[in-house]
A and B are shown apart, each in its own frame.
Chain A
Amino acid sequence: MTYTLEYKNISKAFPGVQALDNVSFKMSGGKVTALMGENGAGKSTLLKILSGDYQPDEGKILINGEEKRFRSPHQAIKSSISIIYQERQLVNTLSVAENLFLEDLPGNRLGFINKAELRRRTQEIIDTFGLPIRPTDIVGRLSVAYQQMVEIMKAYRRDSNIIAFDEPTAPLTDKEIVILFRVIQTLKEKGKIVIYVSHRMKEIFEITDEIVVMKDGHYVKTLQTAETSEQELVRLMVGRDIGDTYANLNRNDKIGDVLLEVNNLVTDYVKDVSFKLRAGEILGFSGLVGAGRTEVMRALFGADRIISGEIKLEGEVVHFRSPRDAIGAGIALCPEDRKEQGLILGRSIRDNVSMPVLLKVKKGVFLDVGQEEELAKEAVRRYGIKTPTTEKRVGELSGGNQQKVILGRWTSDKMVTKILILDEPTKGIDVGAKAEVYQTVCDLARQGIGVIFISSELTEVLGMSDNIIIMHNGRITGTLSREEATEERVLELAMLES
């Protein structure tokens, strides 16, 4: 028999937002179904209702035609549902084996754990995946990619009939993605219902059989993957044609003098790194996850110790002992993990924008709230941040708008930003918002700011950068100009074994 899962007239509202509005569609076993839509389209809410984390205001979920109500994650798991969340749900202090069997540790009736059995069963799963990790490894010490694989193995272990993946590949490198797709193929052949949420078009077309398109909390359409195209998909998701994103950008064509010169930089993590950044230039950094791109920026920013080498800012040698020094000299960093390292989610847009310039918005000994408000309003206006007021907490904004708040912070009138370092600025941002971020970055370059643009998405680096530096294993393996760069050449340099 074929498993079926049906959402029927599901509605869910949060204060101020109708997250889902009368959504109905059906999925069946033996197929991989993609769930697509911009951020805020309601994909995550659909998954959270399925997992028992949220309860729908109206409507019901039918599994094999039978109505199910999940009042807690516990009940959903009992009904053979597993969800791989975008935010990994692992206990970092415990081992791989213990994480795989969190709620279901093998043991006897007295509650004593059978550790040998636990190790054996975990090893079996690791072997199925073909990963070089041990059951006893502490999860917190694994690389992010392996942690994600542990999360995936956790769902695989439960052998659930319904398995949903929410952006599973974001932290993975190509090698693990191959493994993941093989696993998904197996699940499909076993007749399970596989739900796949991703922003990456390439993956959607590679792995899924049908695509459910969502927009603004509404169900739009179910497409057969084989019969559709990227253009059609984007048009349905965004509701308009965005065309060729990069060709339509209003780029900067006047590149100025050298702003930043790095010579033979060596730290604990990178070796012999040299490059130049000019005013108005967008300098792309490409390479696999862990190639040392972020680490170069940390050293530049005064966050990591420099062992040897020199950094020249506008021709003068500088020594930053802390990020504070770097900010003072006009360098701004938008970190990869914007929620953890970039923003204070619980505070307002205003507080987040004025954060680095509080000393300049004083009136006597007190903060000048009026001036702060001006700065925030300017950021909202300039970058088109979608919010009713600058008082709104940053944590309540979508990913794209959060990124704009960070850009607003570093480019406010009170800042003298000469160099802007963007580390994966479009991570987790939907198609429409990406295009806006790209244009914003180009606008900043036109103002003469030197932009360092780090990204793992090849098309993005190729489309945005004037020059591209490719790193592998802590070293620069090549520099390509915009004209020279092709996907093949960049990949070749990125995978180069030195």
Chain B
Amino acid sequence: MLVLGIIFLVLGAIGTVYGIGQVSTPIEGTSNFLGISCIFFGVILLIMGIMLILSRKSERWRGRTKNVTNAKEFTLVVVQIIILYIFWAINPNYLSLNNIRNIFNSAFVVGTIAVGMSCLLISGKLDLSAGNTGMLAGVLVSLLLRDNLPWGAAVIIVLLFGAVTGLFNAALVNGLNFTAFIATLAVSTIYGGLALVLTNAQTIPIGNQSFWRLASANVFGVFPLPFFIMIILLIAYGILLSNTRFGRRVYMVGGNASAARLAGINPKKVTTILYINNSVIACVVGILVAARMHMGSPSAISGSDLDAITASVLGGVAYTGGVGNMLGVTIGILVLTSFQNGLVVVGLDSFYQIVAKGLLLIAALTLDFYREKARLKALKTGQAEEPPITAE
């Protein structure tokens, strides 16, 4: 193992140095494919070499290496690296500062909705109406602004509308015992229709310039406000899920609702809060998208709820509930958006992009399935370091 580690280390170092040399002295008219590949594989070999040597040296490092490679997010990081490499190799502009900004900016819609959605998924529910709720929120805000309401008031009214929507979803699911899938699908359909009724299938322009600033303002001069909101929400809900009592309840309800109930927790209360939360977040997204496009459109972000579910599941959230975390979701969002952006950058036809998105989900989950299977097998045959199965 030690020898292997040293070989990796040396090869990696040579590759990296050679690659950097290639890239830094570009020859006119040729792509930098060779140099980029050398850097890419060189760095990977370097890391592998260091890890091998370290885990050889001490027990603690072996444990750490194992922890990293065993983490559910590991597969995803590998997928992300492969995506970055492929698109970068095809078109080096993919990793230009400008395009990275683009990726982050386009992550906003799916990423923000995924925050509320993943909480719901962890609690064992889901909300297919999030996209259309956000879309209708955009339409509503544009209608309110057309009637010359101050933008602050309009925003508050629309957020209230979001809370009511969440409460309505929760009433269907918790009160009438509808399956979440059906209940929210119905609400989604209703809202899709309502938006068409309200707008007559036209877009509604927004003239209020101070409202535009919601989307164009930069925080600290660099982050566009919507992107900043997404990051804040991801961090805040990450802490909420992993460090607070309410967060733990979300996992309990999703992991075993009956156990939670018999322990004195009210699962319906938990999911009701999450539904309201999700709809309000969807409305925030809808409002910001309207501000960015300077109009309310009856087709704006519908369907982004499915993308949010895709990102969450990619990020390791179990659609059966009880499992997942915001770190995974964040990486899931990154994988999904950088992949979509990459398809645009390499110039794939936009219809094929949708096909490719579905294939990505299948590929990532397949990879995960085999990893999980290998892990479980190791567990059963006692190769993994797991709690003892029989008493001392």
Contact = CB atoms under 8 A, between A and B. Distances in A.
B174 to A, nearest CB: 15
Contact of B252 (A53, A102, A112, A154): A102
B191 to A, nearest CB: 32
B244 A107 contact: yes
A112 B389 contact: no
Contact of B262 (A53, A111, A113, A115): A53
Contacts of A83: 262
Contacts of B251: 91, 93-94, 98
Interface residues of A, number: 44
A15 interface: no
A305 B6 CA distance: 39
Given A89-B263, A91-B251, A176 B391 contact: yes
A202 interface: no
B386 A141 contact: yes
B392 A132 contact: yes
B152 interface: no
Contact of A113 (B244, B254, B322, B381): B244
A486 B322 CA distance: 47
B201 to A, nearest CB: 45
Contacts of B254: 93
A159 interface: no
B255 A93 contact: yes
Interface residues of B, number: 33
Nearest to B323: A93
Interface stretch (A71-79, A430-438, A460-468): A71-79
A111 B244 contact: yes
B319 to A, nearest CB: 13
A173 B391 CA distance: 9
A19 interface: no
A240 interface: no
A103 B259 contact: no
Interface string A93-122: 110001000110101001111010000000
Contact of B390 (A102, A111, A141, A290): A290
Contacts of B245: 105, 107, 111-113
B387 interface: yes
A352 to B, nearest CB: 24
A111 B388 CA distance: 33
A142 interface: yes
Interface of A: 51, 53, 72-74, 76-78, 83, 85, 88-94, 98, 102-103, 105, 107, 110-113, 115, 131-134, 137, 141-143, 145-146, 154, 173, 175-176, 268-269, 290
Interface of B: 243-246, 248, 251-252, 254-256, 258-266, 318, 322-323, 377, 379-381, 386-392
5 contacts: A53-B262, A77-B263, A94-B322, A107-B244, A146-B387
Given A74-B264, A102-B263, A134-B387, 12 more contacts: A78-B264, A89-B259, A93-B254, A94-B252, A113-B244, A115-B243, A132-B387, A133-B388, A142-B389, A143-B390, A173-B390, A173-B391
